[in-house]
Amino acid sequence: MPTRESSFAAVWAILRKECRSEWRTRYGLNSALLFAITTLTAVSFAVGRLGDRTDVLAALLWIVILFAALASLSHTFVREVEGHTQTLLRLAAGPTPIAVGKLLFNLLFLGVLEVVTVPLFMILMGGPPPHWGTFLGVLALGSVALAVAATLVGAVIAQTRGRNALFAGVSLPLLLPLLAAVVSATRAQWTGNPVTFELRLLAAYTFALLAASLLLYDHLWED
């Protein structure tokens, strides 16, 4: 049984390894950014400036983020399978530290993606200024939720046939309730309504998924 300190060290090592191998090729990040910007352009071109239609804006913002996330978040696990590095990785760390390290990496990845996408969205779509504190809180919690669900599904999906097609199909149903809550919270902060209820629901759902996945990660890679 690994000690707690060694697990933290393993998580940190996995996170650093993921960042380094991503930085070497930047294949995942580049394709995700390209995807996000293309989606954003298509949406912006198709509907034009929406002005104060915050209900549509909130939905479109999250659809752009979701699309980019779905195009890239399974990448961390699929890369190990396709590069045949999974066995080696498992010699270095236990399944849970690997998954947690990859979860943190996915979170970081989403953060970078949003730093580019969200300001661009604001400029192109021209909505009213958001309530920054609430807006960033919703964005952060939504990203955590997205990363937790997508990492778990990515880990499962990496070992299947037709994994890239299946990833969107399998993770979307789990993400839909989150998406509904996060869109309604984003809309509520624009109109100045309270968002505590949505945030609480989102936090509870994320926490339940996270707890379940931490218990289950150990069973992902036994062969």
Partner 1 sequence: MIARTVLFLWIAAWTVLALLWAPLVPALAETTRVLYFHIPSAWISVLALGWSMFHSIAYLRRRRIEHDDQASAAAELGLVFCVGATVSGSLWAKAMWGSYWNWDPRETSIFFVLLIYGAYLALRSSIEGEERRARLSAVYSAVAFVTVPFLMFIVPRIYFSLHPDPLINSSGKIQMDPKIRMSFFALLIGFTGLFAWMLSLRVRVLRLARRFEAASAAPAGSAA
Residue of 192, 37, 193, 196 lying closest to 118 (CA atoms):
37
216 binds partner 1 (CB under 8 A): yes
208 binds partner 1 (CB under 8 A): yes
> Is the distance from CB of 111 to CB of 68 less than 8 angstroms?
no
| Candidate residues 160, 164, 193, 196; the one interacting with partner 1 per rule CB under 8 A | 160
Q: By rule CB under 8 A, what count of residues binds partner 1? A: 30
196 binds partner 1 (CB under 8 A): no
The one segment of 20-28, 68-76, 121-129, 155-163 that binds partner 1 by CB under 8 A = 155-163
173 binds partner 1 (CB under 8 A): yes
Residues 15-34 binding partner 1 (CB under 8 A) are none
Amino acid at 190: W
- SS3 state at 73: coil
How many Cβ atoms from other residues are within 10 Å of residue 78's Cβ? 19
Q: What b/e sequence results for 138-155 when a residue is b if at least 16 CB atoms lie within 10 Å of its CB, and e otherwise?
A: bbebbbbbbbbbbbbbbb
| Candidate residues 166, 183, 192, 196; the one interacting with partner 1 per rule CB under 8 A | 166
197 binds partner 1 (CB under 8 A): yes
Query: What crossing angle do the helices spanning 196-216 and 95-125 adopt, rounded to 10°?
Result: 150
> Is the distance from CB of 74 to CB of 154 less than 8 angstroms?
yes
Rounded to whole angstroms, what are the CA distances from 18 to 3, 14, 28? 22, 6, 11
Q: For the CB of residue 143, give the shortest distance to partner 1 in the complex, in Å.
A: 19
| Candidate residues 123, 176, 191, 196; the one interacting with partner 1 per rule CB under 8 A | 176
- SS3 state at 22: helix
| Candidate residues 3, 24, 161, 192; the one interacting with partner 1 per rule CB under 8 A | 161
> Is the distance from CB of 168 to CB of 70 less than 8 angstroms?
yes
177 binds partner 1 (CB under 8 A): yes
Q: For the CB of residue 40, give the shortest distance to partner 1 in the complex, in Å.
A: 26
Binding site for partner 1 (CB under 8 A): 152-153, 156-157, 159-162, 166, 169-170, 172-174, 176-177, 180, 197, 201, 204-205, 208-209, 212-213, 216, 219-220, 222-223
